[in-house]
Amino acid sequence: QPRTIGAKLKQMLRALQMERRLSKREILDLYLNYAPFGGTVQGVEAASFAYLGKSARSLSLAEAALLVALPQAPSRLRPDRHPEAARKARDKVL
């Protein structure tokens, strides 16, 4: 999505609409299930299996921190393609 004032206003409007209709928990669940993690990987559980080979429930603190950072720039932070950038992003979260 382009970074224009119009696009940001639309994004804000959508966020307000969501907050009126959904609980904070429902919004968080939606984000965790649909956040982009690079390539065709979507959602925390899928990212956990794709990049770390295990369920999100089994992650260490460092592994969870990596998945927190990844959606910010999935193509630049994918641990399978850019391990050093992924490590730095993880460390920043920690």
Domains identified in the chain and CATH numbers: 5-93 (1.10.3810.10)
Crossing angle of the two packed helices 61-69 and 83-93, in degrees rounded to 10? 110
Entry pTM: 0.78
Three-point CA angle 50, 56, 62, nearest 5°: 90
Q: What is the pLDDT of residues 5-57, one digit of tens each?
A: 998 999 899 999 999 999 999 999 999 999 999 889 999 999 999 999 999 99
